[in-house]
Homo-oligomer: A and B are copies of this chain.
Amino acid sequence: MGLVVQKYGGSSVADAEGIKRVARRIVDTKKAGHEVVVVVSAMGDTTDELIELAEQVSPIPAGREFDMLLTAGERISMALLAMAIRSLGHEAQSFTGSQAGVITDSVHNKARIIDVTPGRIRNALDEGNIAIVAGFQGVSQVSKDITTLGRGGSDTTAVALAAALGAEVCEIYTDVDGVFTADPRVVKKARKIDWIGFEDMLELASSGSKVLLDRCVEYARRYDIPIHVRSSFSGLPGTIVSSTNPNKPEGGEMEQAIISGVAHDTSEAKVTVVGVPDKPGEAARIFRAIADAEVNIDMVVQNVSAASTGLTDISFTCPKTEGQKAIDALGRVKQGIGFESLRYDDAIGKISLVGAGMRSNPGVTATFFEALSEAGVNIELISTSEIRISVVTRGDDVNEAVRAVHSAFGLDSDTDEAVVYGGTGR
């Protein structure tokens, strides 16, 4: 029996009852003979409430102080969880990110982990304790200030500790039963995936699947730490994310599933730069302007230019929340670049089909487009990687498109099995 790292999100520890339920689950794991390290997020809406307070006292919260503020949330939940475990008769100690040895760079509010030195955790385990660690936070190597890891930070804390401690698995507890072949709120017949490889999970995560963030999956892939995504409410086995399928013997003859799942994303907007002179360096100038404005872009599409005019159109997608920044930045370079106009459209949606098996299955793209066509969904942009096809459609068409594609690739379950239990954690 090896070491298990478990991560519980905010919705799992939203109140005293939730904390007690989680404590029982942790104790069960300990009783089964495992060493247990638990990473916990702030309770329920605590973080949002702290952010609101910060906005009330200061229009632009400062990085260092903002991190100090936000990390209070995890201190509360970790201390309460340790108390709850102790009241069940088991030894538990809680540790801040700093105490747990989560060393980061100095970029406040979105620090990167640069080292993990879990000496105090190892000692606590050796003394028979369950170790509780505050997620989402670390300490900067240079300034010794408290930092936060940004979105998905607690999941990343869990995977990083699992890697540093040589855990046999990192269990990410959330409010759904695992990773599904599509968002269960959209596709009632979505199936829970028992196993998925790191590559496919990365593509799903970066295409709109909210269960795991790509950053955490990337970390797990680099250190080859299996992730078990599962529900803290139901207790059912969830989805294993790892390099090789544990249920299929090495060299076995079964083929990998062609398609892992369908992801969608309606949080993006489409920007089209119309009438760009088709000569070297124009695209670079456009995307340098975007980068300088710190806008994150996703898809980029440029088609061949019209021979008659020598002009081309360049489209890209970015988060709706950053759309205005992108338009402003491009407006400032319009004269210099000499394009004709800008078009902005935030009523779009993106549907992505993901599966490592599509590499060796030439019919996938055709089936995908046929499904969309039969559903009457118009395609506006297309972008592909080796194991993913993404299209942009009207936002209103997205749900219908996801269901059509899900069905066309035989992913539909025989029953409506998906259950969503609560909110989403951090």
Contact = CB atoms under 8 A, between A and B. Distances in A.
A82 B65 contact: yes
29 contacts: A16-B53, A16-B56, A19-B57, A23-B57, A54-B80, A57-B81, A57-B83, A57-B87, A58-B83, A58-B84, A58-B86, A58-B87, A59-B87, A60-B87, A64-B94, A65-B79, A65-B86, A65-B92, A65-B93, A66-B79, A66-B83, A68-B75, A68-B79, A68-B94, A69-B75, A69-B76, A72-B73, A72-B75, A99-B144
B57 A16 contact: yes
Contacts of A92: 65
Nearest to A86: B62
Interface residues of A, number: 39
A132 to B, nearest CB: 9
Contacts of A311: none
Given A56-B16, A68-B94, A94-B68, A61 B83 contact: yes
Given A65-B92, A72-B73, 19 more contacts: A16-B53, A16-B56, A19-B57, A50-B76, A54-B80, A57-B80, A58-B80, A58-B86, A58-B87, A65-B86, A66-B79, A66-B83, A68-B79, A69-B75, A69-B76, A69-B79, A72-B75, A72-B76, A75-B75
The 8 A-B residue pairs with the shortest CB-CB distance in the complex, in nearest-first order = A69-B79, A16-B56, A58-B83, A58-B87, A68-B79, A57-B84, A72-B72, A65-B82
Contacts of A83: 54, 57-58, 61-62, 65-66, 69
A20 interface: yes
Interface of A is mostly: helix
A232 interface: no
A326 B359 CA distance: 80
Nearest to A20: B57
A71 interface: yes
A269 interface: no
A225 interface: no
A213 interface: no
A169 interface: no
B65 A94 contact: yes
Given A16-B57, A53-B16, A75-B75, A64 B93 contact: yes
A140 B247 CA distance: 49
A78 interface: yes
